[in-house]
Amino acid sequence: MSETSYDASHIQVLEGLAAVRKRPGMFIGSVGERGLHRLVFELVGHAVAEALAGHGDTIDVTITPDGGVRVVDNGRGIPTDPGIEAVLTEFRAGTVHDVGICVVNALSSRLEVEVRRDGLRWTQEYGRGVPVASPARREEAAETGTVITFWPDAGIFETTDFSFATLSYRFRELASLNRGLALSLTDERSTTRTVRHSCEQGAQDLVSHLNSRKGEPIHPTVIAFVAADEDSAISVEIALQWDTSDSESVHSFANSIRTHEGGTHEAGFWTALPKAFNAYARQEHLLPGADDGLTRDAVGRGLTAVVSVKLDDPCFEGATRTRLDSTPTGTYVQEVVHEHLTAWLNRNPNEAAAIIRNATRTTAPNPR
């Protein structure tokens, strides 16, 4: 096309769900397995947000025999005013998971929604993001909650085969990050199997699970602490444990969303960790030879940690929300980790010395 032939007629403006279907990777990261499972996580994320707000404590997910997924929660139910259709088809200001619901709708060949709210049950069906009919008012209902069943569009995704293991692992994470929340997963595609996750020890349970597949623990108990700043509405939960392996495994979350690329909360954690250890090691004269201090990599050797923050209106970088951008959160995490970890080190001198010995040991060279 020549420069002179380029005019407004060549500009394509995509609005609403058409943009999602045209460029799905911008909203869910990929059209492979990761993006496919992201659809389930978006719906479950909406239910978790309800639980965080104090509404609902149970989420049941079922992979149906025909390859769809049904997500049931006992929250307040999707608002019917301004309308179910607004939530399912429009990008609106508000929680990130409301955006997620309409993205799931856009990328599904078929979606069915059932809402129980304000004493009534409502249903509606969609095809590729377009309403098949208006919301239908059904019978009266005493309970509340939302049921969404969707079938991913095979014309968009490279595969529509959901992994039981992938979903189960993510639900274990969510249960660990949200005490009192129960998540079940049932697979009806062949022989029916069900798992249920509910963790009373919070992030400690997740670290114990992650460490069960690594080396021998250096200290027997998982270090864990929780703190909250009411003024800035930020809460922090940290759990960590070291083992004899050389590998480092840090999992960070913001409002239960896995931040694969980290962000300010993870940066605050890594700023505080070596500072706390170096201050304690110098205090107890545990650094050998010339005191150059423990580096970040040395302190991270054999570490498994979970860094979870919850805050109002989190700011993420990118549509897929894999990196948190919140300076006050990073500062608060740094303060919390330094204060609580320093207190733990002073209370547990034997375990503290063992961790520092592990950080200062010489790694054997790889055989050639």
d(CA 158, CA 30): 9
List phi, psi (to 5°) of 187: -110, 115
Helices (H), the chain: 17-22, 25-28, 33-52, 84-89, 96-106, 164-177, 203-211, 264-283, 296-300, 327-347, 349-360
CATH architecture of the domain 203-360 equals 2-Layer Sandwich (3.30)
Which CATH code fits 17-197?
3.30.565.10
Residue ranges of the chain that CATH labels 3.30.565.10:
17-197
Q: Which residue has the tokens 């005019």?
A: 7
Question: In the chain, what percentage of residues exceed pLDDT 90?
Answer: 75
pLDDT of 368 over the 60 cut: no
pLDDT of 366 over the 60 cut: no
Residue ranges of the chain that CATH labels 3.30.230.10:
203-360
Q: Which amino acid is at 169?
A: Y
Highest mean pLDDT pick, 98-112, 298-312, 315-329: 298-312
Q: What is the pTM of this model?
A: 0.86
